[in-house]
Amino acid sequence: MPVAIVTGGSRGIGRAIAERLGADGVSVVVNYQSNRAAAEQAVAAIERSGGQGFAVQADVADPTQLRSVFDRAEERFGGVDTLVNNVGTARFATIAQATDEDYELMFSINTRATFVALREAANRLRDHGRIVVVSSGVTATHRPESGLYSASKAAGEELVRVLAKELGPRGITVNNVLPGAIRTEALAAARSPELNQQIVASTPLGRIGEPDDIADIVAFLASDAARWITGETIHAGGGLF
């Protein structure tokens, strides 16, 4: 049975991905930072679908803790085949108003943690594995007040493109997924209902995305059906970008 690590797998998009992979017969390591109850609920859902799940607490902003997720996965399941790097954080402000703290927070989680996760995956994944980085549609839309967030996410996208070439000889694929607005707790906290309505009005498919919309795409990229796709960026915004 293949083994996957999903960072930030206890809530929102990450949980939908973890549960979908579990339903596809993958043993899933559900990483979480603080909400153990949510992580255990995700594991229970995976097990109800016939899969195997395992919750591992770690703050991905700490490289030592992030490496420990891979350690625990290897101890529990004997190896790792797939990494879904899903963790991210966002603060929105104009570049003129953004603070040094904003910069440090977003680049530590969105950029450095992505680099550490990709480096660990490059050294630990078994041949013919899969790496999927969940980035953000803001790197394509260039919205005002998204400068730091967009830049921190875009760095990860460049790492993916290079790593795809480096790991290609081992049959490991590496791809980005760029979600648009997705109905999660994070979206509700970050954006007003009025802004969400504007986004819906600008989206050709006419709605906010759901976590399962992204989970289905990630599950495809993690499957053997996507064996000939690598170094790509999949825009998943309902036509918004």
- Give the residue numbers marked as catalytic: 149
Can you point out the beta strands (E) in the chain?
Answer: 3-6, 27-32, 52-57, 80-85, 125-134, 173-179, 233-236
Helices 113-124 and 147-167: angle between axes, nearest 10 degrees? 10
3-state secondary structure of 133: strand
Q: Report the 10 Å Cβ neighbour count for 74.
A: 14
**What CA dihedral angle connects 78, 79, 83 and 87, to 10 degrees?**
50
User: Please, is 53 exposed, middle or buried when counting C-beta atoms within 10 Å of its C-beta (0-12, 13-18, 19+)?
Assistant: buried
Closest CA to 113 of 128, 129, 135, 142: 135
Structure tokens that stand for 159 in this block: 């790492």
One-letter amino acid identity for 117?
A
Residue 64 CA to residue 38 CA, distance in Å, equals 23
How far is it, in rounded angstroms, from Cα 27 to Cα 130? 14
